[in-house]
Amino acid sequence: MATVTRLVGDLDVAEEAVQEACAVALTRWPVDGPPANPRAWLVAVARRRAIDRLRRDALRTGKELAAVRAVDVEATAVGSGDDQLGLLFLCCHPALDPAVRVALTLRAVAGLTTARIAALFLLPEATVAKRLVRAKQKIREARIPFDLPAGARAARVGDVLRVITLVFTDGHVAGLPSPDASARREVAIGLARALHGLLPEDEEGAGLLALLLLTDARRPGATGPGGEPVLLEDQDRARWDRDRIVEGLVLLDGALRRGRPGPYQLWAAIAACHSSAPTAAATDWRRIVGLYDALGRVEPSPVVAANRAVAVAMVDGPAAGLALLDPLVEHPQLRSWPPLHLARADLYRRLGRSGEAIAAYRCALALQPSAPEQAFITGRIRSLAG
């Protein structure tokens, strides 16, 4: 699929041609026997069909036939890793809307059906279908190229990392774990593995995979028997996925050794602090504060500041944390972010200031979080009021 896209220059036509080639293979190979180089055969057949289709389109509309690369098809068998990377880069092109990038990557790279993508994001199938049509139209009409412009690789890898992160978190940083996220997270981890496999030297790619593994390893402990979310400090750590934690730690260690600790590695290091702590009390909060300091230097954001404040509260006490959190309430990006109010409420609660705690919980409730989160918050309000 990736190779034919590169040869033909049109994602939509390539997809159709590859499907047709596979259909031919399914009927012919059982009868004639498979060819010596099945991949080259499929690429050659798909390419011919794509050219035929483009020629028919060109005759019908009078438009010029887009240049199709003449290439030694046998030689393309070698380029497959580069082509997959190229397809991933294409799907994550910054000229495409972020939601569109996500849908296209899941379709063209992860091979998910439109229905499956819709199910993973709780969207109507028609919405996803429309995004995919938009994506392919934009790529064709604006002529978004398969190849990267010179010097664009680092930025485009960043775009890919952001898309994979969106698949994992569904576009917002959840304050509390959501029970039906697991299938989507697995897809994200699969994409992160693919990227890491294609670019093993990229330390941020390794950082992202480590981050996802270390975060997802906690999933078995993150929900209670009734499907309700469980706070990190209350989770049964024996239920965490040991294998994923070890894999994440090894990956992170390898990445950090390269000496370029970018944001994904730093987020992974913070996740590692949590996931490797044997008990909540044993968590190295001082190190976490230091990591947020580093994040604040390479990729400052109000979310980083808020998270750092929570960590500071664990080291220097709730009052110190509140001194940093309260000013953030007015920040336009954080005002409608439930975790900020939940964190403030928790710190007020620990200081015994129930009135202010309840007020902060009510702010979070007013932002209409998910049903499990609402249940958790109202439970907290009840226990404070009582």
Partner 1 sequence: MRYLLLLHRTADDLPAPGTPEADRLLAEYGASVAAMAEAGVLIDCAPLSATSSATTVRVRDGAAILTDGPAAELHEQVGGYALIECANLDEALGWAARSPAARDASVEVRPVVEVRSR
In terms of CB distance, is 134 or 219 closer to partner 1?
134
In terms of CB distance, is 47 or 156 closer to partner 1?
156
Q: CA–CA separation, 159 vs 88, rounded Å? A: 10
Taking the complex as a whole, the smallest distance from the CB of residue 148 to partner 1 amounts, in Å, to: 8
- Interface pick for partner 1 out of 56, 63, 239, 382 (rule CB under 8 A): 63
In terms of CB distance, is 148 or 246 closer to partner 1?
148
Q: CA–CA separation, 342 vs 354, rounded Å? A: 13
In terms of CB distance, is 66 or 384 closer to partner 1?
66
Q: Is 52 exposed, middle or buried (0-12, 13-18, 19+ CB in 10 A)?
A: exposed
Give Cβ neighbours of residue 155 (< 8 Å, ≥ 6 apart): 94
- Does residue 59 touch partner 1 according to CB under 8 A? no
Give Cβ neighbours of residue 216 (< 8 Å, ≥ 6 apart): 185, 189, 241, 244
Taking the complex as a whole, the smallest distance from the CB of residue 329 to partner 1 amounts, in Å, to: 29
In terms of CB distance, is 41 or 146 closer to partner 1?
146
- Does residue 382 touch partner 1 according to CB under 8 A? no
Taking the complex as a whole, the smallest distance from the CB of residue 157 to partner 1 amounts, in Å, to: 16
- Does residue 144 touch partner 1 according to CB under 8 A? yes
Q: CA–CA separation, 175 vs 120, rounded Å? A: 19
Taking the complex as a whole, the smallest distance from the CB of residue 189 to partner 1 amounts, in Å, to: 30
The footprint of partner 1 on this chain (CB under 8 A) covers a number of residues equal to 12
The DSSP line for 302-357 is HHHHHHHHHHHHHHH-HHHHHHHHGGGGG-TTTTT-HHHHHHHHHHHHHTT-HHHH
- Does residue 141 touch partner 1 according to CB under 8 A? yes
Q: Which two tokens stand for residue 304?
A: 């980083």
H-run or E-run covering 86: helix 80-91
Q: Which two tokens stand for residue 331?
A: 């920040």
- Interface pick for partner 1 out of 27, 30, 32, 62 (rule CB under 8 A): 62
Taking the complex as a whole, the smallest distance from the CB of residue 149 to partner 1 amounts, in Å, to: 4
In terms of CB distance, is 63 or 242 closer to partner 1?
63
Cα-trace Rg, the chain = 25
Q: CA–CA separation, 210 vs 168, rounded Å? A: 13
Q: With CB under 8 A as the contact rule, which of the stretches 79-87, 140-148, 235-243, 349-357 interacts with partner 1?
A: 140-148
Sign of CA dihedral 6, 7, 12, 14: negative
- Interface pick for partner 1 out of 99, 152, 315, 384 (rule CB under 8 A): 152
Give Cβ neighbours of residue 142 (< 8 Å, ≥ 6 apart): 95
In terms of CB distance, is 149 or 386 closer to partner 1?
149
Give me the helix-helix angle, 203-216 and 182-198, nearest 10°: 160
- Does residue 119 touch partner 1 according to CB under 8 A? no
Q: Which two tokens stand for residue 269?
A: 């290091």
Q: With CB under 8 A as the contact rule, which of the stretches 80-88, 146-154, 163-171, 346-354 interacts with partner 1?
A: 146-154
- Interface pick for partner 1 out of 145, 171, 227, 300 (rule CB under 8 A): 145
- Does residue 64 touch partner 1 according to CB under 8 A? yes
In terms of CB distance, is 148 or 329 closer to partner 1?
148
Give Cβ neighbours of residue 198 (< 8 Å, ≥ 6 apart): 81, 84, 85, 88
- Does residue 142 touch partner 1 according to CB under 8 A? yes
In terms of CB distance, is 62 or 259 closer to partner 1?
62
State the residues that interact with partner 1 by CB under 8 A. Answer: 62-64, 95, 141-145, 148-149, 152
